[in-house]
């Protein structure tokens, strides 16, 4: 939902039940703005995966205000290519841009820049709901300078600080997990051509400082490394932090360069807590789908097939129980960590076959030699020894000739603790002591 008063933004379709839940918290916010509200939603890949007929039927049943600007079909869809409105003396134009990866029979996603070529500039606030990847969003903002805001449909985690766009606009997201309501307040400044978020510069500066500290720490560990192998592993970490620091430096420089006259924006993310109850009908539907998935065979791409599960995995990863014979103390210590209960945390909410989730709750799933399917895991459920130390089959056969990684780099952690899946909570200095063994 986009409420153009305070931009209660959501860049994807929100079913009637979920909208009711969100509005329980959003109503007071929306009623305090002089701009009133404009509803606009984008049906994206997640919706169209269920078929065009389903999407159109749900939109009709729940009167969803869909807007799609760049989807060309043999049989046109009933939704507008732009929603225009004027609230509180401010003109708004809202577009919806689907990804080029979207597959809908008899339809194709056209060039979004061409679809937005007539987007009004000047005194109109132009908002784009986007199901594209970051690079495509940045290219679109460059091609269409009139764009003020791009609301991202498919980012797993919310952007607590809006990302600057190359044309002076802002890129926003409240995450695709349904936990946050994004609220954007704006104040127009006569003569300004760009937007500035009040907290962007300070937040980016803090990120830069943190990355510099990480890089300095890696340099110290390289100097103290006991051998060439350790230096090689640390060098890969250094490359990661060098690249990240360069990106953050560029983003900080962009906020400094835009220090001239700018419209003011204030981004807020409102957490939807337990006081926002479940909508009974929607909850029943979701639980029914989860139950269906648990009885089916989920594939890597997210499709589901019925039938017998695939054969058990039998590759380079052997599972943590195989480590216990030689490393009983370390195995016992691991069993007391949250890593050893990672799979159970998914089963508790029936998400163990969710294509977005299972890899970070199993062993070896990010390796080309690892399991490619959640039903074949066997003893590889949970984040086990090999998630950090590497595949163990060769090591079991020749421990001295095939040593594993004794001191895993932070890059092993950040495959999952990537500031997106964990909402930015991960800090190596805090988290590593919780799982590291007391003995090698």
Query: pLDDT tens, 253-285?
Result: 776 655 567 888 888 787 776 666 777 777 787
DSSP state of 415: T
Q: How far is CA 171 from CA 141, 161, 165, 183, in A?
A: 10, 9, 6, 13
309 lies in the same domain as 376: yes
118 lies in the same domain as 239: no
**Is 315 inside a domain boundary?**
yes
Sorting pLDDT into bands at 50, 70 and 90, what band is 342?
A: very high
Sorting pLDDT into bands at 50, 70 and 90, what band is 109?
A: very high
Question: H or E segment at 65?
Answer: none
CATH number, domain containing residue 163: 3.60.21.10
Collect all residues with Cβ–Cβ distance below 8 Å to 167 and sequence separation of at least 6: 141, 142, 144, 145, 147, 194
90 lies in the same domain as 32: yes
Better-predicted residue by pLDDT, 4 or 124: 124
Answer yes or no: is pLDDT of 306 > 60: no
The reply to whether the predicted model has a pTM over 0.75 is no
pLDDT at 149: 93
Answer yes or no: is pLDDT of 57 > 60: yes
231 lies in the same domain as 335: no
For the residues 304-323, what does the mean pLDDT come to?
76
175 lies in the same domain as 212: no
**Overall domain count for the chain:** 3
The dihedrals phi and psi of 180, each to the nearest 5 degrees, come to -130, 145
Share of the chain above pLDDT 70, in %: 80
Question: Lowest mean pLDDT: which of 3-17, 183-197, 223-237, 303-317?
Answer: 3-17
Answer yes or no: is pLDDT of 8 > 50: no
Q: Do 39 and 3 meet the contact criterion of CB atoms below 8 Å apart?
A: yes
pLDDT at 14: 38
221 lies in the same domain as 146: no
Q: Do 151 and 186 meet the contact criterion of CB atoms below 8 Å apart?
A: no
**Is 254 inside a domain boundary?**
no
17 lies in the same domain as 44: yes
189 lies in the same domain as 87: yes
Query: pLDDT tens, 186-233?
Result: 888 887 888 888 776 777 787 888 888 888 888 888 888 888 877 887
67 lies in the same domain as 129: yes
Most confident of 121-130, 187-196, 247-256: 121-130
Facing residues of 298 across strands?
304
Share of the chain above pLDDT 90, in %: 27
Closest CA to 435 of 339, 344, 343: 339
Within 129-279, where are the H helices?
134-143, 200-223, 228-257
Mean pLDDT of the chain: 80
**Is 280 inside a domain boundary?**
no
pLDDT at 11: 39
**Is 100 inside a domain boundary?**
yes
341 lies in the same domain as 380: yes
Question: Lowest mean pLDDT: which of 179-188, 336-345, 420-429?
Answer: 420-429
Half-sphere CA count of 284, side-chain side, radius 13 A: 2
Q: In terms of residue numbers, what domain contains 104?
A: 8-194+261-271
Q: How far is CA 91 from CA 158, 165, 319, in A?
A: 27, 21, 59
Most confident of 35-39, 65-69, 233-237: 65-69
Facing residues of 66 across strands?
41
Answer yes or no: is pLDDT of 129 > 90: yes
């Amino acid at each position: 939902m986009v409420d153009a008063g305070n931009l209660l933004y959501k860049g994807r379709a929100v079913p009637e039940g979920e909208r009711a839940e969100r509005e329980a918290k959003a109503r007071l916010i929306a009623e305090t703005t002089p701009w009133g509200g404009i509803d606009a939603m984008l049906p994206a890949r997640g919706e169209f995966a269920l078929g065009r007929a389903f999407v159109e039927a749900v939109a009709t049943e729940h009167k969803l205000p869909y807007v799609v600007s760049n989807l060309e079909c043999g049989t046109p869809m009933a939704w507008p290519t732009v929603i225009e409105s004027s609230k509180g003396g401010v003109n708004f134009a809202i577009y919806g841009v689907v990804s080029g990866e979207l597959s809908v029979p008899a339809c194709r996603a056209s060039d979004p820049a061409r679809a937005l070529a007539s987007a009004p500039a000047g005194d109109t606030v132009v908002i784009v709901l986007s199901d594209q990847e970051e690079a495509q969003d940045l290219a679109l903002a460059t091609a269409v300078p009139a764009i003020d805001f791009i609301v991202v449909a498919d980012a797993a985690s919310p952007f607590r600080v809006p990302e600057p766009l190359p044309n002076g606009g802002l890129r926003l997201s409240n995450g695709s997990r349904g936990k946050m309501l994004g609220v954007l307040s704006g104040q127009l400044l006569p003569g300004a051509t760009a937007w500035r978020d009040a907290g962007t510069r300070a937040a980016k500066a803090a990120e830069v400082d943190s990355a510099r500290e990480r890089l300095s720490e890696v340099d110290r560990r390289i100097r103290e490394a006991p051998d060439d192998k350790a230096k090689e592993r640390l060098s890969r970490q250094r490359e990661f932090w060098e690249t990240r620091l360069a990106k953050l430096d560029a983003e900080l420089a962009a906020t400094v360069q835009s220090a001239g006259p700018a419209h003011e924006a204030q981004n807020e993310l409102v957490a939807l807590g337990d006081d926002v109850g479940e909508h009974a009908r929607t909850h029943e539907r979701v639980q029914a789908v989860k139950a269906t998935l648990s009885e089916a065979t989920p594939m890597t791409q997210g499709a589901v097939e019925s039938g017998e599960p695939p054969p058990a995995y039998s590759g380079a990863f052997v599972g943590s129980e195989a480590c216990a014979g030689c490393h009983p103390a370390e195995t016992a210590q691991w069993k007391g960590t949250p890593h050893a209960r990672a799979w159970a945390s998914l089963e508790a909410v029936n998400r163990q076959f969710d294509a977005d989730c299972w890899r970070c709750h199993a062993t070896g799933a990010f390796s080309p030699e690892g399991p490619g399917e959640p039903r074949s895991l066997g003893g590889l459920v949970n984040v086990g020894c090999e998630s950090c130390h590497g595949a163990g089959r060769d090591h079991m056969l020749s421990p001295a000739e095939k040593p594993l990684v004794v001191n895993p780099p932070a890059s092993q952690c950040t495959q999952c603790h990537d500031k997106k899946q964990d909402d930015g909570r991960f800090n190596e200095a805090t988290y590593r002591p919780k799982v590291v063994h007391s003995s090698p």
